[in-house]
Amino acid sequence: MGGVHPPNDGYHATPDLYLQLSRVLEHEIWNHNQTRGELSNEANRRVELKRQLWKQAQDLAQWQEACRTVYTSLDKHRAQETRLKQELAEAKAELATVNEENSSQTLSSIEQSPVQFQFSDVNLGRHARILPKPQKQDEDSDTWRLGFIQDIEEHLKGE
Structural contact between residues 109 and 103, judged by C-beta atoms closer than 8 angstroms: no
Q: Each residue of 50-101: pLDDT tens digit?
A: 999 999 999 999 999 998 998 998 899 999 999 999 999 999 999 999 998 8
Q: What is the pTM assigned to this prediction?
A: 0.40
DSSP state of 6: -
The domain segmentation of the chain, as residue ranges, is 15-134+146-153
Q: Each residue of 124-152: pLDDT tens digit?
A: 554 555 555 555 555 554 554 556 677 77
